[in-house]
Amino acid sequence: MYDVYVGSGSHHRIGRGHGEQLAGAVAQNLEGFFRCMAPRGWTRQALGRRALRAERRLADARLDEIAGIAEGARRPYPEVLAYNLFYGEAFPDDCTVMFAMPDATAAGKMIFLKNSDKIGGESMVGEGFYEHKEINVVLAVRPEGKPAVVGVASAGSTGVKMGANDRGVATGTNIARTAELRTRAVNTTQERALDRVQLSRDGLEHATALEAGNAVVARLADHPMATPGNLEFVDPTLAYIIEGSYDRMAVQFIHAGVGVRTNRFVVLDALNDPEDLSSYCRYVRCTQLLGARAGRLTPADFIAFSTDHANGPGPNSICRHGVHYREETSQSAQIIEVDAADPSRSRVWLALGKPCWAWRDPAGSLELTMRFRPEEIPEGFRTGEVWKRFWTERPNVEEAVPTAAG
Ligand SMILES: [Zn+2]
């Protein structure tokens, strides 16, 4: 279908390959984004101008990649820039993150999981969306002189919903459903704010969780996140967890055992919205699951956790289902098991679509190592066809089948 897939080289070249390959989906994602922002009073032109004013919030490498996407997809640069800068305002990242440090696993290797959950909306129709949800694709890139990255992204975005690099750092993000988020209108703080999926991707340019976390915290001290939320950077020696709200930030360091983040704060607990039942249910369930197998956890356990339907299947289970597209439900999942001795040999598992369907079908999930070549990623994972096939709200309540992940 495509003559060339460019997933390596300069950032501009990587972006151009992304834009050319996914031109239809990029165009539709941009249209969906502008339609989601319109009821908030933002015209396409005003968002483009706002994006150009805010351009310097992104690193040069990201800007090069965005310029490449715009060129490849033949879209105006300010539109692609606006999508990358203000994406989180239109599409919040409701997600579950679970991890185990090496002492908590059977093989002595850190394991990290994220289930990515998203809302849908009336405006989300067209080629980039499917039944009112945004299509998820695998982003696998090998930039010159920088760590290779594998993650899940939306077409047209340089940010990652979750991902890992070949130095052994994994990352994830979650919006935090605080009382303030529910009641607060857009204001000047938001005008200066940074987008979490971009911060996650920037963090993956560092070789350790400590360096990634410190770099991101320094930037957040200057410009807060666009919405309250968590950012996680985890390697075999440190889990560096950042909780950020409009006027405060907290950092938690975990060196051993297990950790969980859902759409709530743990350190900044006082800010949580008491009406947000789902985040509390998932936090408690994840903590129970990890605790029950701490010391002997395997990647196969994390695949099972990703499909867990306790408290559901529904909005409160880890694998989240809904009956209306406005509900936040699970769209994709990624697991990494980091080999500290040689991080390039770390193993990664990706599932596109509903975790309880995609993990149980070899066509819906993918295993690779961080030595991957971008062209090795099957086309359906790069274009979103796999996601379309495995995205459904219907729960798969079959017994979990054993997988290769052991
Ligand atoms: Zn499910």
Q: How many angstroms does the Cα of residue 64 sit away from the middle of ligand 1?
A: 38
Q: How many angstroms does the Cα of residue 380 sit away from the middle of ligand 1?
A: 21
Please check whether residue 224 is in contact with residue 255, taking contact to mean a CB–CB distance below 8 angstroms: no
Q: How many angstroms does the Cα of residue 365 sit away from the middle of ligand 1?
A: 15
Q: How many angstroms does the Cα of residue 56 sit away from the middle of ligand 1?
A: 40
Taking the model in full, what pTM does it have?
0.92
Q: How many angstroms does the Cα of residue 47 sit away from the middle of ligand 1?
A: 36
Q: Per-residue pLDDT for 4 more than 60?
A: no
pLDDT at 125: 57
pLDDT at 25: 80
Measured in Å, how far apart are the chain's first and last C-alpha atoms?
A: 35
Q: How many angstroms does the Cα of residue 205 sit away from the middle of ligand 1?
A: 33
Mean pLDDT of 131-152: 85
pLDDT at 232: 98
pLDDT at 188: 47
Please check whether residue 55 is in contact with residue 81, taking contact to mean a CB–CB distance below 8 angstroms: yes
**Distance of alpha carbon 220 from alpha carbon 212, whole angstroms:** 12
Please check whether residue 236 is in contact with residue 108, taking contact to mean a CB–CB distance below 8 angstroms: no
Q: How many angstroms does the Cα of residue 372 sit away from the middle of ligand 1?
A: 29
Give 60-83 pLDDT, tens digit per residue.
Answer: 999 999 999 999 999 999 999 999
Q: How many angstroms does the Cα of residue 93 sit away from the middle of ligand 1?
A: 18
Please check whether residue 334 is in contact with residue 163, taking contact to mean a CB–CB distance below 8 angstroms: yes
Question: In Å, how far from its chain's centre is CA 319?
Answer: 15
Q: How many angstroms does the Cα of residue 98 sit away from the middle of ligand 1?
A: 17
Tell the residue number behind the tokens 């991890």, with chain if given.
Answer: 99
Q: How many angstroms does the Cα of residue 116 sit away from the middle of ligand 1?
A: 12
324 burial level (CB within 10 Å; 0-12, 13-18, 19+) = exposed
Give, in degrees to the nearest 5, the angle at Cα 195 between 194 and 201: 115
Q: How many angstroms does the Cα of residue 12 sit away from the middle of ligand 1?
A: 38
Q: Where are the domains of the chain?
A: 91-390
pLDDT at 1: 32
Q: Per-residue pLDDT for 368 more than 90?
A: yes
pLDDT at 2: 36
Q: How many angstroms does the Cα of residue 321 sit away from the middle of ligand 1?
A: 6
DSSP-assigned beta bridge partners for residue 58: none
pLDDT at 27: 85
Q: Which of 25-34, 53-62, 65-74, 381-390 has the highest mean pLDDT?
A: 65-74
* Residues of the chain above pLDDT 70, percent: 90
Confidence of residue 189 (pLDDT cuts 50, 70, 90): low
Q: How many angstroms does the Cα of residue 360 sit away from the middle of ligand 1?
A: 11
Q: How many angstroms does the Cα of residue 405 sit away from the middle of ligand 1?
A: 19
Q: Per-residue pLDDT for 145 more than 60?
A: yes
Q: How many angstroms does the Cα of residue 119 sit away from the middle of ligand 1?
A: 16
Give 331-343 pLDDT, tens digit per residue.
Answer: 999 999 999 999 9
Nearest to 397 by CA among 363, 355, 334: 355
Q: How many angstroms does the Cα of residue 13 sit away from the middle of ligand 1?
A: 37
Give 96-110 pLDDT, tens digit per residue.
Answer: 999 999 999 999 999
254 burial level (CB within 10 Å; 0-12, 13-18, 19+) = middle
Q: How many angstroms does the Cα of residue 337 sit away from the middle of ligand 1?
A: 23
**Distance of alpha carbon 236 from alpha carbon 338, whole angstroms:** 7
Q: Per-residue pLDDT for 6 more than 80?
A: no
CA distances from 129 to 27, 200, 388 (A): 11, 23, 9
Q: How many angstroms does the Cα of residue 400 sit away from the middle of ligand 1?
A: 11
pLDDT at 53: 93
pLDDT at 223: 86
**Distance of alpha carbon 277 from alpha carbon 266, whole angstroms:** 15
Mean pLDDT of 31-49: 89
Q: How many angstroms does the Cα of residue 357 sit away from the middle of ligand 1?
A: 7
Q: Which of 147-161, 188-202, 385-399 has the highest mean pLDDT?
A: 147-161
Q: How many angstroms does the Cα of residue 117 sit away from the middle of ligand 1?
A: 12
Instruction: Mark residue 280 as left, alpha or beta (left: phi above 0; alpha: psi -120 to 50; beta: remaining).
Output: alpha
pLDDT at 166: 97
Q: Per-residue pLDDT for 191 more than 70?
A: no
pLDDT at 155: 81
Half-sphere exposure of 97 (CA within 13 A, CB side): 31
Q: How many angstroms does the Cα of residue 352 sit away from the middle of ligand 1?
A: 12
Q: How many angstroms does the Cα of residue 393 sit away from the middle of ligand 1?
A: 8
Give 222-266 pLDDT, tens digit per residue.
Answer: 888 888 999 999 999 999 999 999 889 999 999 999 999 999 999
Mean pLDDT of 304-324: 93
3-state helix, strand, coil in the chain (%, to 5): 35, 25, 40
CATH of domain 91-390: 3.60.60.10
* Residues of the chain above pLDDT 90, percent: 66
Mean pLDDT of 371-399: 87
Q: Per-residue pLDDT for 208 more than 80?
A: yes
Q: How many angstroms does the Cα of residue 322 sit away from the middle of ligand 1?
A: 10
